[in-house]
Amino acid sequence: MKHMRPILVLLAALCAGPLSAQQADPALVAAGKAVAVAGDCAACHTNPEGKGDFAGGYGVDSPLGTIYGANITPSPQGIGDWSFDQFDTAMRKGRAPDLHFLYPAMPYTAYAGMAESDMKALYSYLQLGVDPSDNVPPHTDLGFPFSFRAIMAGWNLLFLNGDVVAGANAEAGSAARGEYLVKTLAHCSTCHTPRNALMGEESDSFLGGGAVGEWIAPNITAGPDGIGDWSRDDIARFLATGRNAHGVAGGEMGTAVERSFSKMPRSDLDAIAAYLVSVPAVAGNGPVRGARDPASIPDIEPPLSGLNDYIDTTDMSGARLYQAACATCHGWDGMGSVDGAHPALVGNTAVALDDPGNLVMTILNGAQLTLDPDASLMPAFGDQFTDAEVAKLASYVRTGFGAKALAPVTQAQVWNIRNGVVQTGWLLANAKALTIAGLGLGALILIAGLAVLIRRRRRIR
Amino acid sequence: MSDYDADVIIIGSGTIGSHVALQCAQAGKSVIILEAGTKLPRWKAVQNFHEDAAKRNWNAPYPRLPWAPHSYMEGYIEATGDADFDYVTSYLRVAGGTTRHWAAACWRLLPNDFKLKSTYGVGRDWPISYDDLEPWYVKAERSVGVSGTAQDDQSGQNRGAYPPRSQDYPMPPEAMPYSVQRMTSKLTDMGYSIAHEPCGRASRPYDGRPACIGNNNCEPACPIGAMYSGDMTLEKAVAAGADLRTESVAFKLETGEGGAITAVHFRKPDGSDHQLTARRFVVASHGLESPKLLLMSDVANSSDQVGRNLMDHTGLTFSFLADEPLWTGRGSVQHGCIVNRRDEPSRAQHSAIRYSFRNLVPNLDIAPDLIEQGLRGEALDDAIRDRAGRYMQISTMSETLAIPTNRVQPNPDWTDSIGLPGLKVTYRLDRYVRAMLPQAQRDFANFAQAFGAEVLTAPNQWRNQFHIMGTCIMGDDPADSVVDKDCRTHDHDNLFVVTTGVMPTSATVNPTLTGIALAIRAGDTLVKEL
Amino acid sequence: MSPAHTRLSRRQLLVSLIAIPLFSPRSVFAQTAGTDSDIARASALLTGRSTLAPETAMRVQELLSAQDAAFPSHLASLIRALETASGTDPQTLSDSLSDTDAATALAILEAWYLGYVGSVSTSSMDYDGKFVTYLQALMFEPTGDVTPRPAYSKRGANYWSAVPEGVAAPAMADNVATWGLAGLKPTTSPPDPDPAWLYMMQGYATTITAARAALAGGAAPLTSDEVNAKSLAAAQASAGAQTTGAQTSDSETREGDSK
């Protein structure tokens, strides 16, 4: 195997490195690999078009500039010189050995709760199980005031809870093990818990739903606004394949499923499911329920007085656009395929969220997860529709298959989503002026906001 | 600044022109694509299909443009020929070309198909061999996304895995439909060799395309884009920098000193004329439109072969009711075929034949008769179900030879809305084609017996398969061919013609993949020269 | 040339080419759109279905009226006949109709089953067929559990390899569904055909019973030479120009279909 060679080499040269014999135990390295998968390290530290696993350089656009994942391979350009204690400090406190502060794009507030055994395993894996790379990722420069990383110290004081979460070694598949995974490695709350005014997670709304760029990270608590109607098997299947009867994983969740959840042992997915069904219900941020307003068949066939125009599309209703582009797979009635191959839109979370981001993003980019080679994917429609057409289509899908009460989607909203314009708000837009005016607190709030804003990928040409 | 409007101008945005454009644009060359038709998103074609009365008319969902008539526009093609055969062909003039409504069969020719004259003493030889083209077949299969199995004898001559391939297909075949299982089960016993039909349909997610889910609507429009169509390559070419200009009908190539082509003249729907210059010109406008443009321009024709040697796979169709339910219509429109007759010694005497199983949902083919017969209510519904279940259709792809008198010419007696001529086609079936009839009848009789057939349509009516070849024929000798082995015209160093019309032999398989392989190869030549 | 100009020009050209007489004024029928209109009641009785959309029934009426100005009076006659006949079985009702009423019934039934009125062509744009419905076209209903309404598959990839619903599959080799050399391959050459089946393929009979009867009566299939001679003679019959769009006639073989 690819990763065995460095292990053997390093086992022979143990005394030369910072590792103890115990840390070089192949079983520990293997366990560390599993931790790295569960922690989804590769999502930010491996550039799919780049120079090898964990070699960094993956650029994530943020409204403030591009942030590049670091090289975390065992090379001098990576973390090859780091001791375990230095690694542990970076993972739990967000501070690198040269004392610089990490941007909270790195979810150290979640990793702070990791068990020491997992931390040691991860360290062993990154030092011994990964090919060293001398790649030097591009420098991340967000400009003043965000280049002044020390402002993170204040924020850390407020929101960094260093307590270790129990359950790392609880019974396989148990809710206790699930709680540990959810709160630490899987860092679910990073996206799924709403943020307070200081951009810290609201502890009393744990997993009650948040936002990631254009995407909404829905409420995943066990109530009517969350995933209370999902069975444990539904949850585990969603994590394993990115889809179930209720919806499809898109955006960052799709990436997380692809690179992390789908590679975790089934017992850990069962554990997460067992825990999630016990999370106290939080209200809000869930799909809107209520009466729907689907079109009848005569509505979606051409109007009685109309002659079909073979080129012009300006007069087409949302219902007819849906019929032309979507009904093949999702059914003219939004009920999906009879054998479950394609999801129903009725009851689908993305369709019924108040914020249309997930629906519009899915129309534009498709649902491209192909974990199961026999499963279908949804092609991208970004090149096939104008913004006005997407707006009409999305509006129809929301009211026809979600709930009548949902607001129509506007062409401007589609344009913003297509072009990656996030509603960053007044504070962020005026950060530099505020900071110069001495409102340092504003800056640290804003920089913390990067934790949620930067995880946004552009897939639209 | 350059003295030219572009490094290369490509006339035609179908899959072949788009492949040349993509090659050149990716290499950093400036590319202009002229397209007579308009753009039309896939979903709009689906909606047009949905809302048109003529569901079996593959051209109906596509734009009907008075300045760029397609082959089904009344009067556009005036055909002369045999009394027992109507020349009909189907092609589109739309961005992305006629692969917008093909069935996506993606065959390679057999090695003998390249040397028909030297092997069987009939027809012509190509100036290149199968081995010469093989690397480009690989590239074409990857670009299109072809599902197929390398472990099959596509020649039907017990040659093991054949023809030889340097790379496997990019995707495995789709599952075999029940109807083809029944055909295989019964006909293999009789001695027939059934092969998978390699196709440009994704059998699993590929290049952003979903796997085929059996919408059974390849023709006239795959609603989900599982099937490859030329607009997909066109979009990539445009993303790579090619400049697509639609509603621009090329009507004249201008020749300058030394025989070089200096400009292309094109007309807009409002009748205004424009021209563009380039270092190289590529005519990739379909097998009938390309020779029309060359003839209208009086270029590339010192051999007098432009527009001549028109070939198709003119053949026969047998539809019947089997004595058991087969249920065609589950899956795509084509999956399997019989290959025994593709490369037999009898090719010296008559057409090689391939028998293709059509797999259409047949309700539209059977319901009108049942209604007219007076069946009503439950009796009608029961009869539709019974007959739809037992329906089967088998067609021949029959080889035709390059005959100079079979030809296409501009027809000045008919003009479109911008004053450009229609097409005049002269096409007769020679003895070589007609002599396949006894062989085909014997095979059809065996198929009929195997399934206890009740005849719906006997296989005695000739019809085209809409595969145009020969009209800009390729050869080494400038005296009897239009382009050389690189698709460059013998008469003009900077003029290339890339279309299935360059093919000197027709073989028994859909020519598009061969055309795409030639296009990628021509693109490589252009990139090296520019 | 401005884009606006292009657009206008194109629109005008398109309309000049494909404009078809639009439907008769809607107001004539619009107020009667409901399940109790004549056309809705006739449609229900003729198809034996009570759930047909009244809006689509009105479309049928408008299209047929545009085709034939006398359709409204024919419809009135038809509905009287249908509602005075005894029983509700569509076959019985239809069989009891006069020729005129039967023709009206046929037009309505074709609209509902095929989803269009008028005629269509597979090889020309010169047809007058008008769209009625696709999602409600009744001809797909009897097979809806087995095959899709084309373009609207309701299932996922590769479902088609399974034995179709309601079919008792004959025994087949284990590798029958395997493509390629690992699947079934022949061990013999195809045989000479049975003369009766060959006779059928030559177009002289549509059923094997008829073919065997003919052979028993002294008929014989043509030899290869005779087939070739007949084919060459047919090519010469009266060669002349045709225009694309002429539909291939297959009346010779279709006759036997209506046995």
**What are the residue boundaries of the structural domains of chain C, listed by start?**
18-138, 192-231
pLDDT at position B2 over 80: no
Cβ pairs bridging B and C (under 8 Å):
396
Does this chain's domain A168-286 share its CATH topology with A297-420?
Answer: yes
pLDDT at position C14 over 50: no
Region of poorest pLDDT, from A364-373, B152-161, B344-353, B385-394: A364-373
Q: What is the pLDDT of residue A450?
A: 54
Cα separation, C196 vs C214, whole angstroms: 9
Chain C CA closest to residue B50: C134
| Mean predicted lDDT score pLDDT of chain A | 83
Q: Which of C186, C165, C182 is nearest to C174 (CA)?
A: C182
B342 min Cα distance to partner chain A (Å): 33
Strongest mean pLDDT among A142-146, A333-337, A340-344: A333-337
Query: C139, C172, C208, C250: which to substitute to probe chain B, counting the most B Cβ within 10 Å?
Result: C139
Task: Please state which CATH number belongs to domain A297-420.
Answer: 1.10.760.10
| Mean predicted lDDT score pLDDT of chain B | 97
Tens digits of residue pLDDT in B303-343: 999 999 999 999 999 999 999 999 999 999 999 999 999 99
Q: What is the pLDDT of residue C195?
A: 98
Q: Show Cβ contacts of residue A459 under 8 Å, excluding neighbours closer than 6 positions.
A: A365, A380
CA distances (Å), origin C122, targets A207, A417, C5, C129: 58, 43, 34, 12
CB contact under 8 A, A297 and C135: yes
Query: B62, B71, B72: which to substitute to probe chain C, counting the most C Cβ within 10 Å?
Result: B72
CB contact under 8 A, A376 and B211: yes
Q: What is the pLDDT of residue A157?
A: 75
Residue type, A295: A
Chain A CA closest to residue C149: A328
C214 min Cα distance to partner chain B (Å): 16
Arithmetic mean of pLDDT, A442-461: 46
Arithmetic mean of pLDDT, B428-453: 97
Tens digits of residue pLDDT in A179-206: 999 999 999 998 899 877 666 778 889 9
Q: Show Cβ contacts of residue C229 under 8 Å, excluding neighbours closer than 6 positions.
A: none
* SS3 readout for chain C: CCHHHHHHHHHHHHHHHHCCCCCCCCHHHHCCCCCCCHHHHHHHHHHCCCCCCHHHHHHHHHHHHHHCCCHHHHHHHHHHHHHHCCCCCHHHHHHCCCHHHHHHHHHHHHHHHHCEECCCCCCCCCCCCEECCCCCCHHHHHHCCCCCECCECCCCCCHHHCCCCCCCCCCCCCCCCCCCCCCCCCCCCCCCCCHHHHHHHCCCCCCHHHHHHHHHCCCCCCCHHHHHHHHHHHHHCCCEEEECCCCCCCHHHHHHHHC
Chain C CA closest to residue A327: C152
CB contact under 8 A, B210 and A378: yes
- Phi/psi-derived region of residue B274, left when phi > 0, alpha when psi is between -120 and 50, beta in every other case: beta
> What is the pLDDT confidence band of residue A13, given thresholds at 50, 70 and 90?
very low
Arithmetic mean of pLDDT, A112-119: 96
Region of poorest pLDDT, from A269-283, A445-459, C83-97: A445-459
Q: What is the pLDDT of residue C255?
A: 34
Which ranges of A94-195 does DSSP label H, i.e. alpha helix?
Answer: 108-111, 116-128, 151-159, 175-183, 188-192
CB contact under 8 A, A304 and C154: no
Burial B480-501 (b: 16+ CB within 10 A, else e): bbbbbbbbbbbbbebbbbbbbb
Arithmetic mean of pLDDT, B492-507: 98
Q: What is the pLDDT of residue A456?
A: 38
Tens digits of residue pLDDT in B378-405: 999 999 999 999 999 999 999 999 999 9
pLDDT at position C100 over 60: yes
Cα separation, B418 vs B246, whole angstroms: 15
Tens digits of residue pLDDT in C245-257: 333 333 333 333 3
A308 contacts chain C (CB < 8 A): yes
Active site residue B467: yes
Cα separation, B411 vs B409, whole angstroms: 6
Q: What is the pLDDT of residue A61?
A: 66
* Chain C residues in contact with B459 (beta carbon < 8 A): 201
Tens digits of residue pLDDT in C130-178: 999 999 999 999 999 999 999 999 899 999 999 999 999 999 999 999 9
Q: What is the pLDDT of residue C238?
A: 61
For A390, the token pair is 């997407």
CB contact under 8 A, B377 and C90: yes
Q: What is the pLDDT of residue A447?
A: 58
Q: What is the pLDDT of residue A60?
A: 72
Q: What is the pLDDT of residue A202?
A: 81
> What is the pLDDT confidence band of residue A247, given thresholds at 50, 70 and 90?
confident
CATH of A168-286 given 1.10.760, 1.10.3470, 3.30.60, 3.40.50 = 1.10.760
pLDDT at position A429 over 70: no
Q: pLDDT > 90: what percent of chain B?
A: 99
Q: What is the pLDDT of residue A154?
A: 72
Please give the annotated binding residues of A for heme c, written as ranges. 41, 44-45, 188, 191-192, 326, 329-330
pLDDT at position B114 over 90: yes
pLDDT at position A373 over 70: no
CB contact under 8 A, C125 and B270: no
* Chain B residues in contact with A379 (beta carbon < 8 A): 208-210, 224-225
Q: Which of B76, B87, B88, B91 is nearest to B415 (CA)?
A: B76
CB contact under 8 A, A310 and B64: yes
Q: What is the DSSP string of B375-411?
A: --HHHHHHHHHHHHHHEEEEEEEE-----TTSEEEEE
CB contact under 8 A, A376 and C156: yes
Q: Which of residues 314-343 of A touch C (CB under 8 A)?
A: 327-328, 331-332, 337-342
pLDDT at position A424 over 90: no
Query: C11, C37, C52, C59: which to substitute to probe chain A, counting the most A Cβ within 10 Å?
Result: C59
Burial B160-194 (b: 16+ CB within 10 A, else e): eebbeeeeebbbbbbbbbbbbbbbbbbbbebebbb
CA distances (Å), origin C247, targets A354, B72, B434, C121: 55, 12, 21, 7
Tens digits of residue pLDDT in A165-181: 999 999 999 999 999 99
Q: What is the pLDDT of residue A111?
A: 95
* Chain C residues in contact with B188 (beta carbon < 8 A): 184-186
Strands (DSSP E) contained in B2-57 are 6-11, 31-34
CB atoms within 10 A of CB C237: 10
Tens digits of residue pLDDT in C111-124: 999 999 999 999 99
> What is the pLDDT confidence band of residue A439, given thresholds at 50, 70 and 90?
very low
> What is the pLDDT confidence band of residue A374, given thresholds at 50, 70 and 90?
low
Q: Phi and psi for B422 in degrees, rounded to 5?
A: -85, -160
Cα separation, C68 vs C74, whole angstroms: 10
- Which stretches of chain B sit within 8 Å of chain A by CB? 38, 40-44, 46-48, 50-52, 61-64, 204-205, 208-211, 213, 215, 223-225, 235, 239
Q: What is the residue whose two structure tokens read 């949302």?
A: A318
Count of residues for chain A? 461
A305 contacts chain C (CB < 8 A): yes
Q: pLDDT > 90: what percent of chain C?
A: 75
Q: Show Cβ contacts of residue C226 under 8 Å, excluding neighbours closer than 6 positions.
A: none
C52 min Cα distance to partner chain A (Å): 10
- Active-site residue among B335, B467, B490, B492? B467
Q: Which of A192, A181, A29, A26 is nearest to A120 (CA)?
A: A29
Annotated domain spans of chain A: 168-286, 297-420
Cα separation, A329 vs C140, whole angstroms: 18
Domains in chain B with CATH codes:
1-102+107-130+229-311+403-429+468-530 (3.50.50.60), 146-220+315-399+430-461 (3.30.410.10)
Tens digits of residue pLDDT in B69-84: 999 999 999 999 999 9
CB contact under 8 A, A302 and C131: yes
pLDDT at position A441 over 70: no
Report how far apart the first and last C-alpha atoms of chain C are (Å, whole number). 62
pLDDT at position A54 over 90: yes
A436 min Cα distance to partner chain B (Å): 43
- Phi/psi-derived region of residue A207, left when phi > 0, alpha when psi is between -120 and 50, beta in every other case: left
Region of poorest pLDDT, from A371-380, B288-297, C28-37, C180-189: C28-37
Tens digits of residue pLDDT in C223-240: 999 999 999 999 998 644
pLDDT at position C87 over 50: yes
Chain B CA closest to residue C97: B374
> What is the pLDDT confidence band of residue A18, given thresholds at 50, 70 and 90?
low
C130 min Cα distance to partner chain A (Å): 10
